[in-house]
Amino acid sequence: MTTPSPRNWLPARRGGGSAGGPAGGPAKTSRTEPPFDPNSWSGSLILMVSIAAVLWVIQIINAASSPSLDRFGLRPRELDGLWGVATEPFLHASYGHLFSNTLPLIGIGWVLMLSGLRTWLTVSALVIVLGGLATWLVAPSGLIVGASGLIFGWLGYLIARAYFSRKLTWIFVAVAVLVFFGTLLSGLLPSSDASVSWQGHLCGFAAGIVAGAVLHPRRGGPRTRRPTPAVS
């Protein structure tokens, strides 16, 4: 509800125009630009591209640093590597590593961002913490960096959300994401390549499923009334 301006209640001046503008001209209205909306299609895409750009800036600094910033990555079952749970998604082993993650990061992250910035932040936090801790517990010794676990967590959440909510829109979204990025699921399988942490992928994916189950619990069926006992 808006309150009309007192000026609109004044009578028109004699001999001149209305009170809205000088000398009878049209009243001037102030135009304001619409605020940036992170929940819109374009706004969400801009945010995800900006996040990807930040990762590229970090990688440029990382490549130029000696020693590398990768030393702050996750080290399974080492206390001094536990902080890597939070820093792992922002570090990459090489430009090629980051390049392979950029498109899924923007694409899947953009789809999730369309659900709202708060949902994106909540799911991302759950995946980073739960997936990172699980990776720290089960992955083999070494150094783990990369946003792959977070990406797999987003993918797991979108699939779990469709499964638990049973909403046609979210089912369609999950199917569309799988059409474009379904080949990523092969990264959940054990690999002989020691440079690929499939455990991190799997833990992130599982954390995304947990996030979907927590945020979108399946509703129970209709309750049945208990039969009224007969009175003798």
Q: What is the dihedral of CA 198, 200, 201, 206, to 10 degrees?
A: 130
Q: What mean pLDDT do residues 158-165 have? A: 96
The terminus-to-terminus CA distance of the chain in angstroms comes to 63
Q: How far apart are CA 142 and CA 197, in angstroms?
A: 10
In this structure, is residue 48 part of a structural domain?
Answer: yes
Instruction: Dump pLDDT digits (tens) for 162-192.
Output: 999 999 999 999 999 999 999 999 999 998 8
Judge whether 131 lies within some domain: yes
pLDDT single digits (tens) 189-217: 998 888 899 999 999 999 999 999 999 98
Residue pair 171/162 in contact (Cβ under 8 Å)? The answer is yes
Domain extent for 126: 41-215
pLDDT number for residue 2:
46
117: which 2 tokens? 């910035």
230 in a structural domain: no
Is the pLDDT confidence value at 20 over 50? no
pLDDT band at 39 (very low <50, low <70, confident <90, very high): confident
pLDDT of residue 64: 96
Position 231 in a domain = no
Q: The domain spanning residue 154 has which CATH number?
A: 1.20.1540.10
- Structural domain contains residue 168: yes
Answer for the pair 55, 98: CB distance below 8 angstroms, yes or no: yes
pLDDT score at 228: 52
Rounded to two decimals, the pTM is 0.80
> What total number of domains does the chain contain?
1
* Residue 24, domain member (yes or no): no
The verdict on residue 2 lying in a domain is no
Instruction: Kindly give the residue spans of alpha helices, DSSP state H, lying in the chain.
Output: 41-64, 84-87, 95-113, 117-126, 132-138, 148-165, 168-181, 198-215
- Indicate whether 27 belongs to any domain: no
**Given a cut of 90, is residue 230 above it in pLDDT?**
no
Structure tokens given for 124:
């991302």
Q: Hey, how many other C-beta atoms are within 10 angstroms of the C-beta on 203? A: 26
